[in-house]
Structure 1
Amino acid sequence: MYSEINHEVLVRTEHLKKYFPLRKSKKSESVRAVDDVSLEIYRGETLGLVGESGSGKTTIAKMILGLLPPTENTIYIDGKDVWDKKNNKSQRNSVGAVFQDPASSLNPRRPIYRSLERPLIINGFSKTEAKNLIYDTAEKINIGRELLERFPHELSGGQQQRVSIARAIMLQPKLLVLDEPTSALDVSVQAQTLNELLKLQEEFNMTYLFITHNLSVVRYMSDRICVMYGGKLMEIGSTGDVYNHYVHPYTFGLLSSVPPLHPKERHRKKYLLSGDMPSLVEETKGCRFASRCKFCQNICQKEMPAMKRVGEGHLAACHFAGEIKF
C-alpha cells in the first residue's frame, strides 16, 4: 500500500516538545514526555505509532487533537497551526478521535442517538439533517437502528466501539486518531472492527494515526510505522522496511517480543529487552536507549544520535544504523 500513498503532507510537527513540570520538585524539574519529535503524516495513509507504555505516543495524539498544548513548537494540519486561535474551530472539525475504552467516552445517561446527535447540533446541523446523517452513518458501520435508542451499558464492547467510530467520522474529518481502538475487544470483534476502519478509510479518504501496543495489528493496518522510546523517535519507515529490514536495536527488541505464528520461527534470532526505561526527568546527553542496548558504544553514552537515512523514507536514530548485524 505504501507505494500507492499520496506523499502530500497532511500533519507536520517540527522539534515538538511536551514537558510536564513536577509539582513537588524544588529544582523546576519536568518529565520530558515528548522531546524533539519531527514527524510527517501523509494524506490518505495510516501511520502506526508503537512503543512501550510511557514512550509518548498518547501525548503526541493529544497535542494533535488540541487537548494538550505543546511546551515548544507546534503542529500543522494542512499547513495551518493547530494552536493558532484563528484556526481553532476549523481545525477541531478536521480531526476526530476513537479512544481505548468506548464505554468511558459515551455519556451513560444519554441514549446512543442523543450522543451522536449532540456534536452535529453544536456544529449547526438541523434536527432533520442530523437524523439523516446519523441513520446513514449507522448503516455504514452496521449499527442497527434499534441500538440507537439504547443506553451505552446495554451494548456490547464491539457495539460501543462502533458507536464511537460513527461519532468520530460523521463530520468526515481529514485525520482520525485511533488510540488503542481494539485493545478492549475480543479477537474476533477486533478483526471485524479493523476491517470496518479500513473500509471507511477508503470510502471517506481519511488519514489515520493508529496507536497500539499490538505489533500484529499495526502491521495489518499501517502503511508506515513509527517506533517511539522515551519521548523520542527511534525508527520510521514503510511497514515492510520496519518489519523486515529494521536497523534500530529497540525495534529489533520490540519485534522479538511478538510470539511467532509458525513453529519454524521459534528459533529465529531474538533480542529480549531487559531493564526499565530511563528517567525522563534527567536530561540525557546520549541515546535514550543506551542503558538497555547490547550494541552500545562510548559515543552512544555521550552524543544524542540524529535521524539517519538508511533507505527510501526509512530513518533511524542510531549512530550505527545500517551497520549492526543482528
Structure 2
Amino acid sequence: MNEILVQTDHVKKYFPLKGSLSKKKARSVKAVDDITLSIRKGETLGLVGESGSGKTTLSRILLGLLPPTQGKVLINGKDIYAPANRAERHRSVGAVFQDPASSLNPRATIYRSLERPLRINGYDAKDARELILETAEKVNIGRELLDRFPHELSGGQQQRVSIARAIMLKPQLVILDEPTSALDVSVQAQTLNELLNLQQEFGLTYLFITHNLSVVRYMSDRICVMYGGRLMEMGSTQDVYERHLHPYTAGLLSSVPPLNPAQRSRKRYLLSGDMPSLIDAPAGCRFCSRCRFARPECAGEMPQLHDVGGGHLVECPYALELEGQ
C-alpha cells in the first residue's frame, strides 16, 4: 500500500467575488489554499474538519468537476485536467454522495440509473445487464428492486444503489462524501461494512469525507484534518488519535463523547469562536484567532506542514512544544 495513486501538488481553488472595483482590488474566497497530499493505492484516507473547511471543494477538484485555480492533480502520474486525459479521468474516479435520493433520477428505474453510465462508456445492452446484475448482488440489491423507482426504496437501499453505480466501472479512486450521515445508525454500520468488503474485493482506494470522527476512525488508514482551506495535521489513524499535535485536532477530538466511562474526566481542549472569513483570510496561521497557544508571530507568517516523525505531518511550528499541554 505504498504506491501513490493520487497526488495533489499545491492545489488552490479561489472563487472570485462579483462586484470588485478593479482587478487590483479583486477579492476571492480561498476555499482550498495550497493543499499537497497523496493517497496510496488500496488505502482509505479520511478527511475531517468543520463545515466550510474545504473538504467538499477538494473532493470536487479530485472528481474533475472543479478545475483548480493553481496546482495539479495527478492520478497514476497523469494530470487529470489535461485535455488528453479527460476520458480516463471519468473512468478513474467514482463518487458516493451524502443524500442518495438527490443523486438518483426520480423518473428512472434503478436499472436505468445503473445502465446509463455503462451505455455512455460503450457497453452494449447485454454486457450492461450482466454487469448490473453482478454488481447488484455484491452490494445486496435484490433483483426485484431494479424495476422500482428511487422513492420506492429505503434510504439504505438508495445508498447501496449509489455505491453500485460508483463501483461498476471499476474506478481506482472512490470519493465517499458523508455516505452514511443520512442513514439510521444500524444501517450506517451495515453500509460501512459493505464498503470495507468491496474495497478488499476490488482493491479500491477511498477518500472518506465525514464529520463523524468515530466513523472515520473505524474506516481510515490515515487521516487528514482540514481547517480554513488548509491541512492542519495528517498521519496514520493511530497517530492522529493517540498523539494529535495540532491544537485544532485536539479540539475536534475533545468534542467526541468517550465510550469508556473512565475517560470522561480526560483533559479537554474545547474550541471557541468561529472560523475566520476565507474572503480576507489572515496572512498567518488560519487557526491562530481561535488558538489559546497562539503567539504574536503566528498571525504574521503562514506555517507549513512539517514531519514530526513517521510521516506524521503538522502545520503548527510549535506542535512538539505543545505536546501534552
Fold-level similarity (TM above 0.5) = yes
RMSD of aligned C-alpha atoms?
0.8
Aligned to 1:48: 46
8 Å Cα contact 1:96-1:173 kept in structure 2: yes
| Structure 2 CA distance for aligned equivalents of residues 151 and 224 of structure 1 | 37
The reply to whether residue 301 of structure 1 matches residue 314 of structure 2 is no
Structure 1 residue 62: Cα displacement? 0.2
Q: 2:26: which partner in 1?
A: 28
CA distance in 2, matches of 1:12, 1:284: 27
Aligned partners of 1:308 and 1:321 also within 8 Å: no
Which structure 1 residue ranges, 5 or more long, are not aligned?
A: 1-5
How high is the TM-score relative to the length of structure 1? Answer: 0.97
Stretches of structure 2 lacking an aligned partner (at least 5 in a row)? none
Following superposition, the deviation at residue 263 of structure 1 comes to: 1.3
1:140 corresponds to 2:135: no
Q: Counterpart in 2 of 1:112? A: 110
Equivalent positions of 1:277-296 (< 5 A) are 277-296=275-294
Q: How far apart are 1:277 and its partner, in Å?
A: 0.3
Between the aligned partners of 2:278 and 2:46, the Cα distance in structure 1 is 23
Q: CA deviation at 1:24?
A: 3.1
Counterpart AA for 1:275 = G
Q: Following the alignment from structure 1 to structure 2, what is the Cα–Cα distance between the partners of residues 280 and 119?
A: 37
Number of the residue aligned with 2:274: 276
Q: Give per-residue Cα distances to partners, 1:194-222, cap 9 Å, x unaligned.
A: 00000000000010000000000000000
Question: Which amino acid in structure 1 is aligned with residue 9 of structure 2?
Answer: E
2:187 is aligned with 1:192? no
**Would the aligned equivalents of 1:14 and 1:74 in 2 still touch at CA under 8 Å?**
yes
3-state SS of paired residue (1:290): coil
Q: Give the counterpart letter for 1:276 in structure 2.
A: D
2:317 — aligned with what? 319
Listed as ranges, the matches of 1:26-175 within 5 Å are: 26=21, 27-175=25-173
Q: Find the residue that maps to 1:304 and give its secondary structure.
A: coil
Runs ≥4 in structure 1, deviation > 6 angstroms? none
Instruction: Give the Å deviation of 1:285.
Output: 1.8
Q: Does 1:207 align with 2:208?
A: no
**Counterpart residue number, 1:3:** none
State how far apart, in whole Å, the 1-side matches of 2:50 and 2:167 are: 28
Partners of 1:145 and 1:14 in 2: how far apart? 44
Structure 2 residue aligned with 1:227, among 225, 228, 253? 225
Tell me if 1:216 matches 2:211. Answer: no
Amino acid of the structure 2 residue aligned with 1:228: M
Structure 2: distance between partners of 1:283 and 1:228: 15
Alignment match, 1:9: 4
Which one is further off, 297-306 or 30-39?
297-306
Where 2:196 maps in the other structure, the secondary structure is helix
Within the candidate set 225, 247, 250, 1:249 is matched to 247
Q: Deviations over 1:41-97 (max 9, x none)?
A: 001100000000000000000001010010011200000001001000011101000
Aligned mates of 1:24, 1:106 — CA distance in 2: 36
Give 3-state SS (helix, strand or coil) of 2:140's partner. Answer: coil
Superposed displacement of residue 284, structure 1 = 2.0
Q: SS where residue 322 of structure 1 aligns? A: helix
- Report percent identity of matched pairs: 69
1: CA distance, partners of 2:15 / 2:275: 17
For 2:52 and 2:178, the matched residues in 1 are separated by: 14
C-alpha distance in 2 between matches for 1:136 and 1:298: 60
Deviation at 1:283, TM superposition (A): 3.9
Q: Secondary structure at the match of 2:74?
A: strand
Offset at 1:229?
0.2
Residues of 2 paired with 1:302 and 1:61: CA distance? 30
Contact 1:300–1:319 under 8 Å retained in 2: no
| 2:171 matches 1:176 | no
Structure 2 length as normaliser, TM-score?
0.98
